[in-house]
Each structure stands twice: as structure tokens, then as C-alpha cells.
Amino acid sequence: MRFSSTRRRSLAGAALALTLSACGGGGDSSTSPTPTPPPIVEVTVTHKVRLSTTLGVIELGLDRTKAPATVDNFLAYVNERFYNGTVFHRVIKDFVIQGGGFARGASNVLVQKPTRAAIVLESNKGLSNLRGTIAMARTSDPNSATSQFFINTVDNKALDYPGSDGSGGYAVFGKVTAGLDVVDRIRAVATSQDLPLVDVTITDAVVLP
């Protein structure tokens, strides 16, 4: 899907992010009917993660029942302490805040961290990209998500399966259970081309009992 306005442009710009914007259309509707999205369901919290950031603490409830591969992947990165020191490198106030892939290098430039293998897309589970939910960022390849994630700052149902362009949508795997005010603090920071002027850094990410 393409977001033509500034607030909806690709989250992959300037080589900083996996994109939320897939290329291409949904095919010929006369021969390729649009898949029917599943009914929207609530997030069922099976696992908890705390993200400590330079602007406050965000607690996440993850739903392994509906997105097992996605949750297992995210927890693996947390347990490896991969997210510690990464920044929210894409902030679009009325869309998403995105992080989980870049950290400051020795030259004080953002460097993309090496990741684990990509995972299968789990967007067709009924979890919707509503305000406060967390989902995986990816390229135009549906099965390309690795470490990067985004938190929806508003309702973004156009990102749900099958996606407004039929590319499969974006896999929600949990929600913010505490610290939505911190998300709003992050979404309000000053940016240049969606990159915060002052780093918002994840200082610690841990799995909660």
C-alpha cells in the first residue's frame, strides 16, 4: 500500500526502516477477489514485556495464542537484549512510532543491527492495528519481518489483513497495557523527515513474569 501524504509515506525512507508500505496493487479484481478479513478480536495477553525508554516505561501484553511465530520471534530478541540501545527511528505522530532495528554507532550515526532470519506473516488472525497495538514492520515481501516493530498511535485499520492493496497487511501481536502516555510522549517529539531530533532510546527490554 502507498501512503501518498507525508504522514503516510513509506516507513523505509532514507534506509532507516523496514517499510509499512508495500509496492504494487491487489491484482485484477475481476479474477482475484479480495480476501475477506476475519472478524476483529481482542488481544489475549499470554506474555508480558517491559520497554524502558529515555521518555518512560511501556509495558506490552503479547498474544502468543494468535501470533505464535511473531511473539516467539519478539521474545527471542528481548531475551538476547537485542533491543537495548536501539532507538525509535521513525515517528509519525498520527500514524505510528517505529523502532527495534537501529542504534547509534561509534561515529554517532544510526547503524542497522544484524538480525535473525525473517518470519512468516501472521496478519490473518483478527487482531487489528488499533491505537496502542504493537505490530511487526516489514518490506513489500509479506514474510520479511525481523526485529523492527511499530506501535499504532491511532487506529490504522488500513494495515489490517488483507491490506488496502491486498499485500497481506501487518501482523499485530500485542498491545500496550501500561505507558500509553509514554507512547504519546514519543509521538509528540520534534522530528526531521520522521526521525526524532533527539534520540528516544530503548535502554532496557525485559520479559516480565
| pTM of structure | 0.87
| pLDDT computed for residue 106 by the predictor | 87
- Report, in angstroms and rounded to the nearest whole number, the Rg of the chain calculated over CA atoms: 16
Percent of the chain with pLDDT over 70: 85
pLDDT digits (tens, 9 = 90+) for 27-71: 444 456 778 889 999 999 999 999 999 999 999 999 999 999 999
Q: Name the band, by pLDDT with cuts 50, 70 and 90, for residue 19.
A: low
Once rounded to an integer, what is the mean pLDDT over residues 165-179? Answer: 96
Give DSSP secondary structure letters for 126-172. S----TTEEEE---SSTT-B-S-EEEESS--GGGSTT-TTSS----E
Contact 121, 145 (CB under 8 A): yes
What 79-87 contacts at long range (C-beta under 8 Å, 24+ apart), as own/partner pairs, is 79/207, 81/205, 82/113, 82/147, 82/205, 83/51, 83/147, 83/202, 83/205, 84/202, 84/203, 84/204, 84/205, 85/201, 85/202, 85/203, 86/113, 86/201, 86/202, 87/196, 87/199, 87/200, 87/201, 87/202
Residue 181's region, left for phi above 0, alpha for psi from -120 to 50, else beta, is alpha
For 77-88, write each residue's pLDDT tens digit. 999 999 999 999
For residue 9, pLDDT beyond 60: no
User: Any idea how long the chain is?
Assistant: 209
70: three-class secondary structure by DSSP: helix
Query: Which is more confident, 16 or 120?
Result: 120
